[in-house]
Structure 1
Amino acid sequence: MPRELDGLMQPRPLTIAHVLERAERLFAHKHVVTAGGERLTYGEVAGNVRRLATALDSLGVPVGARVATFASNSRRHLELYLGVPATKRVLHSINIRLSAEHLEYIVTHAEDDVVFVDRGLLPRIWPSADRLPGVRHWVVLPDGTDEPIPADPRISHYDDLIAAEPFEGSFEDTFTLADEHLASGLCYTSGTTGRPKGVLYSHRSTILHCLGTLAAGLIGLCESDVVLPIVPMFHANAWGLPYGAVMAGASLVLPGASADPAHLLGLMEAERVTVAGAVPTVWASLAPHLHDHELSATRFLLGGGSAVAPALSETYRAAIGVPITHSWGMTEISPVGAIGGTRTQHRDATDDELVAVRAAQGQPLPLVNLRIVDVETGRELPRDGQAVGELQVAGPWVAGGYFRVAGDGSFTGDGWLRTGDLATLDAEGYLRLVDRMKDLIKSGGEWISSVELEAAISSHPGVAEVAVIGRPDPRWMERPVAYVVLRDGSAATADELLDHITPMVAKWWLPDDFVFLPTLPKTGTGKLAKNTLRDSARIA
């Protein structure tokens, strides 16, 4: 009787060490540019990674130990991205905008052994040092600032550390892992609704996600690209862009800590950047300055973290010929799960139809499975583009649990991740987010999508940013309120905005109030902090 037959392929593990070795052997001539003008080749970066491996050994950092980074996007941070996991330790990138309470919680929870910190960021973390007794070493990364460094025996300097540690071992002995399922990275969720939770990536999941960023027709990173991760490297592996660029042999441009539009657009122009990724609030800040820069090299702009308003994406398409491409993901998904954009079936679509397609979060990457289920019954819903349910996801780079957290209800009995997003899926697999379950507004027993209402308001040419929340109401339970930041020079009024959106949405969706602010509150990753707005609405 026939039986299952094993293949005869080599069982070589998928590990980040391969990314390092490939860059050193094939792309040693390609460049990594850091803000301030520093330009190193991949060959030089790989040499530094080898010396870093020896330095970690000299510091006595055990295999499996968590090595934290508190740093912006730089060449030295990239060396830690490669060297820490490749030497069998775990890279723990920490959000530099965390409150002291959350910062101390996650460093303690992760049991970090050593922290690498940008010199300019020392004042944000050093006051917590004595409350973090598990951290044995603090290593300062030069970043062009002259922030005073405390005289403390626990502190060392990155460049001095690796300069004093020549690499004398073999690549195979130092960087070879036998098990691709070993942990490679640790990133904590934002903690906006409770304690931050740790997502523990494996070498296997990281490499498979990395290959997903190379998939043609999606992001499609390739050797000829020049990649600018504006998204912070402390946030979910910078959407996988650093690993993907190094794997592909693309040049990298790392912008440091500044989000100044002139700085970012200047880098894009000077370095001929082809691919860049950022959250919508950053893209919105750059939009008024697009015509001041020559950006003809750009082929792909990635937006994520929250919905990209169609009007914002179309602004870029009109100005430079490249729209902002939607993506969808989470820290728990490494983080990219779906990529938007048009496909061959849209060649004959009208302009309005194309705008609608580009407004979707897109199709899942290869190996990622999506489904929507009824929130109350758990029954899977049809993929007809109409049924709205909770989005659930499964795949080889999707978390199956949280670090040191027992079952918290985030996973189904059959192993799918509950995302907390409400969405539709159509027959072609296109994902369209309706809203976060926590951001839906229930008014008079009916649901209002804050995402759709924000898209309508942001289509007004005078609006720079908008956030819609539900404000408690004694009659209707909740009513929508729009918080708006106007573009420079705009004098749009509440009545004007109301007239603008009235033809676009149901009458009972119209906001009860428009609140004009100079800026909107943001989370540590640049997303709109709706919790802050909800708190202020309850107090008002």
Structure 2
Amino acid sequence: MTGQILNGNSMDDYPLTLTSIVDRAERFHANRGVISRRPSGDVNRTTYGEVAGRARRLAHGLAALGVRDGDPVATMLWNQSEHLELYFAVPAMGAVLHTLNPRLFPEELSYIVNDAQDNVIIVDESLLPVFETIRDSREFAHVVVVSHTGDIPAGMLDYESLVANNEPIEWPVLGEGRAAAMCYTSGTTGRPKGVVYSHRALVLHSLVVALPDQFAVSARDTILPVVPMFHANAWGLPYAAALAGAQLVLPGPQLDSESVLDLLAAEHVTMTAGVPTVWMGVLSSLDAEPDRWDLSALNRLIVGGAAVPRSMLEGFDRHELSIVQAWGMTETAPLGSVCRVPEDLDQASNSDRYNYRIRQGVASPLVDIRARDDEGNLIAWDDTAMGELEVRGPWVAASYHHGQGAASFTADGWFSTGDVVRIDPRGCIRICDRSKDLVKSGGEWISSVDLENQLVAHPDVAQAAVIAVPDDRWGERPLAVVSLHPDVDPSVDKLRDHLAQDFAKWQLPDRFEFVSEIPSTATGKVKKSELRKRFTTEP
């Protein structure tokens, strides 16, 4: 007779909680540096050990203010050491870290703090003017200020006193299914929606982020997340860095290209991460002064949030800096896929390698993908068929806070991303468009992303966006909105001829509109809703 073991095992039922990451940072990486640039430009240097110790005191102080299990604690902070202390303290004490994006409009912020029911909020002194715009929209029980001058407005509490005046606590034992953190979507379509992450989700996310073919985070790294800590968990980098023992450089609010480059060079950063709009500015600065900054330590730039054009890849390659493209969403915590060139392309032509690198990559370990066409059929992975990408996995949302947006989740448990993709036989994704941004002209699809990438490859173009506008004959036609570099004269013929090298005549935009700046969301994505409103109502 053969014995069967179906429901039993010998493994410890060890909970996957962020407490284990905080404890590891404190115990094994206590002397690794955490460098913060203040709004003034001064640099503060501390360590994981000091951050974790202060987090224990901070948790005690928050509990004294009435923060209980499951309560949201709102933050309105930059990438700074105090924000990392809250990343540690709030989930480890059993509360829920709710990061607020200070770049949102007051109406959006007011909606979010009320939807989340925030009662305690921690605000950087430099962001108090932003807080004042929403102060009357909700009656906060406590407002805590991270002050750099020592001035605390009446009725508010001092963050440093909250830390200094309390003893460190022992972290409670938590279940891995407990809520740990909360982010809201950017609200590009409808109201922002809350995504609540469990401890288990963020621990697994941190482990996968650190894998060699993902972001490859190690104790030998010095990481500068340009992506804000108030946006999708800073792509998981604070927790992954703490887990691995990587040194962390937090840039504060100064994210202009020269300030970023100064910090990359001064701190010998090995890895950085941010959206394409940031890196386009950095590339322009490097092209203008290629010998000004020593970036010899920097071996990878993680870029996501929008498709990376080939011209950007080529531009950074000129400076011997390598971009690794990734894709994700707030709903995926956010890592969904990473584009690493496979071994069999190592000896391929530059053109073939660039054709691969402009893609959004293969699904990250533990993430499943599929795509459906307009008729609801699963598409073939032949790099020809197009469909809306659906994903599932241990850090992918199964619902929104309060059950909003239920239509985004399929009956069998997949999240519908809204991204229209092709998938090649390797499983490598190429995002063709957002479903709402595809142009359907005469029954044929035109990818606005492909047109935009080709436009920004033109030396005159700083930014470009393509939108669909109604057309009596064809249903929709593409319209290109273009921002040019300084001292460049607009030329529709020049841009149309440039596009005609790679696109059929029927795919070319009928109209070109030139603007000084293309509007973007608070997270750096082109705000096409504003462009549609402007250019489909104006003559």
TM-score in same-fold range (> 0.5): yes
Q: 1:140 aligns with which of 123, 145, 148?
A: 145
**How do 1:340-351 residues align onto structure 2 when only pairs under 5 Å count?**
340-351=339-350
Give yes or no for the alignment of 1:522 onto 2:532: no
Q: 1:108 aligns with which of 97, 105, 114?
A: 114
CA distance in 2 between counterparts of 1:341 and 1:401 reads 30
Amino acid at match of 2:164: A
Whether contact under 8 Å (1:328, 1:337) holds in the other structure is yes
CA distance in 1 between counterparts of 2:134 and 2:449 reads 38
**How do 1:303-342 residues align onto structure 2 when only pairs under 5 Å count?**
303-319=303-319, 321-342=320-341
1:375 Cα deviation (Å)?
A: 2.6
Q: State the partner residue of 1:387.
A: 385
Q: 1:266 aligns with which of 262, 269, 272?
A: 262
1:259 Cα deviation (Å)?
A: 1.6
Whether contact under 8 Å (1:139, 1:158) holds in the other structure is yes
Q: State the partner residue of 1:361.
A: 360
Whether contact under 8 Å (1:115, 1:137) holds in the other structure is yes
CA distance in 2 between counterparts of 1:497 and 1:136 reads 56
Q: State the partner residue of 2:154.
A: 151
CA distance in 1 between counterparts of 2:84 and 2:60 reads 17
SS across alignment from 2:94: coil
Whether contact under 8 Å (1:314, 1:323) holds in the other structure is no
CA distance in 1 between counterparts of 2:313 and 2:357 reads 8
Q: Residues 104 and 407 of structure 1: is their aligned pair in 2 closer, same or farther, counting only changes over 3 Å?
A: closer
Amino acid at match of 2:189: T
**How do 1:37-436 residues align onto structure 2 when only pairs under 5 Å count?**
37-133=43-139, 135-142=140-147, 144=148, 149-152=152-155, 155-167=156-168, 169=169, 171=170, 174-177=171-174, 179-290=175-286, 291=290, 292-319=292-319, 321-376=320-375, 378-405=376-403, 408-436=406-434
Deviation track 1:289-332 (CA, whole Å, cap 9, x = no partner) reads: 1213111111110111111111112101111x223221111100
Consecutive unaligned residues in structure 1, runs of 5 or more:
none
Q: State the partner residue of 2:482.
A: 484
1:471 Cα deviation (Å)?
A: 2.2
Q: State the partner residue of 1:512.
A: 510
SS across alignment from 2:374: coil
Q: Which has the higher mean CA deviation after the structures are superposed, 510-519 or 75-84?
A: 510-519
CA distance in 2 between counterparts of 1:56 and 1:194 reads 33
Amino acid at match of 1:122: L
Give the fraction of aligned pairs with identical amino acids, expressed as a percent: 45
Deviation track 1:222-263 (CA, whole Å, cap 9, x = no partner) reads: 000011110111111011011111111000011111221110
Q: 1:23 aligns with which of 17, 22, 25?
A: 25
SS across alignment from 2:403: coil
Amino acid at match of 1:24: E
Structure 2 length-normalised TM: 0.95
Consecutive unaligned residues in structure 2, runs of 5 or more:
none
1:5 Cα deviation (Å)?
A: 4.5
SS across alignment from 2:401: coil
Whether contact under 8 Å (2:209, 2:236) holds in the other structure is yes
Q: State the partner residue of 1:449.
A: 447
CA distance in 1 between counterparts of 2:392 and 2:253 reads 33
1:516 Cα deviation (Å)?
A: 2.0
1:406 Cα deviation (Å)?
A: 5.0
Whether contact under 8 Å (1:315, 1:323) holds in the other structure is no
Q: May I ask how many residue pairs the two structures share in their alignment?
A: 528
Amino acid at match of 1:137: H
CA distance in 1 between counterparts of 2:315 and 2:533 reads 32
CA distance in 2 between counterparts of 1:210 and 1:348 reads 32
Amino acid at match of 2:388: E
Structure 1 length-normalised TM: 0.95
CA distance in 2 between counterparts of 1:314 and 1:245 reads 29
SS across alignment from 1:227: strand
CA distance in 2 between counterparts of 1:237 and 1:406 reads 21
Whether contact under 8 Å (1:330, 1:336) holds in the other structure is yes
1:343 Cα deviation (Å)?
A: 1.5
1:407 Cα deviation (Å)?
A: 6.1
Q: Residues 462 and 158 of structure 1: is their aligned pair in 2 closer, same or farther, counting only changes over 3 Å?
A: same
1:382 Cα deviation (Å)?
A: 1.3
Whether contact under 8 Å (1:327, 1:337) holds in the other structure is yes
CA distance in 2 between counterparts of 1:466 and 1:508 reads 19
Whether contact under 8 Å (1:32, 1:41) holds in the other structure is yes
Deviation track 1:445-472 (CA, whole Å, cap 9, x = no partner) reads: 2221100001111111222211111123
Whether contact under 8 Å (1:383, 1:425) holds in the other structure is yes
1:513 Cα deviation (Å)?
A: 2.1
1:126 Cα deviation (Å)?
A: 2.1
1:149 Cα deviation (Å)?
A: 4.9
Whether contact under 8 Å (2:213, 2:340) holds in the other structure is no
CA distance in 2 between counterparts of 1:398 and 1:214 reads 18
SS across alignment from 1:409: helix
Deviation track 1:392-442 (CA, whole Å, cap 9, x = no partner) reads: 001000001111125621111110100111101111111111110011112
RMSD between superposed Cα atoms in Å:
1.5
SS across alignment from 1:159: helix
CA distance in 2 between counterparts of 1:420 and 1:264 reads 32
Whether contact under 8 Å (2:224, 2:251) holds in the other structure is yes
CA distance in 2 between counterparts of 1:450 and 1:161 reads 50
Deviation track 1:333-353 (CA, whole Å, cap 9, x = no partner) reads: 000100012021212211100
Whether contact under 8 Å (2:299, 2:322) holds in the other structure is no
1:444 Cα deviation (Å)?
A: 2.4
